[in-house]
Copies of this chain bind each other. A is one copy, B any other.
Amino acid sequence: MEQRVSIITLGVADVAAARRFYEDLGWRGQEVDETVFFQAGGLAIVLWSRAKLAADAGIADDGAAFGGIALAHNVRTFEEVDDTIRRAVAAGARDVTEPADTFYGGYAGYFRDLDGHLWEVACNPGIPLADDGAFVVPPFDAAT
C-alpha cells in the first residue's frame, strides 16, 4: 500500500450548503451526481451525502459526532491564520478555537464546518510549505 490518500470524502447533510461554505472560503469545485469534487493538491476533497456515505460503507450512522479526525490547512504567515479563521466564521463555521501560539513555535486555530468536520489552520515556521503548497515532513532524526 503506497503512502497516499486519493480522496477525502466529507459526509454532509446538505451538499449545496456545504459547497457554498467551501466556495465562500475561496475554493472552486465541480459537481456531478450530487457530489462535489475539489482538487486539493494531489487528492480530491469530495462532498457527499453523509447518509449515502454511511450506506455505501455499511456503517451505522448515529448522527454527527467527533470521529477523531482533524484536517489541517497550513499557511505561510500568522496573519494568514487569522484571516482564514475570520473568513471561515463569515462563511458559517462554528466551534472556533481562536488562534494562539503553539508549543512548537507556530500559531494555530480550529473551526468546524457546517457538518462538524474539524479543520485546524496553522502556520509552522519550522516546516515551511513547499512552493507548490506541499507539506513535506522533514527528517526529524537529522534535526536532533
Contact = CB atoms under 8 A, between A and B. Distances in A.
A7 interface: yes
This chain: how many copies in the complex?
A: 2
Contacts of A71: 5, 7-9
A61 B65 CA distance: 9
Contact of A140 (B32, B56, B70, B73): B32
A4 B72 CA distance: 9
A5 B117 CA distance: 13
Interface string A25-48: 111101110000111111111000
Given A68-B64, A134-B42, A120 B4 contact: no
Given A1-B84, A58-B95, A137-B39, A129 B6 contact: yes
A82 interface: no
Interface residues of A, number: 72
A118 B59 contact: yes
Which of A25, A95, A118 has its CB near the most chain B CB atoms (within 10 A)? Answer: A118
A1 to B, nearest CB: 4
A118 to B, nearest CB: 6
Given A6-B122, A31-B140, A65-B67, 12 more contacts: A1-B84, A4-B40, A4-B74, A5-B40, A8-B70, A37-B137, A42-B134, A43-B43, A59-B118, A62-B65, A67-B67, A67-B68
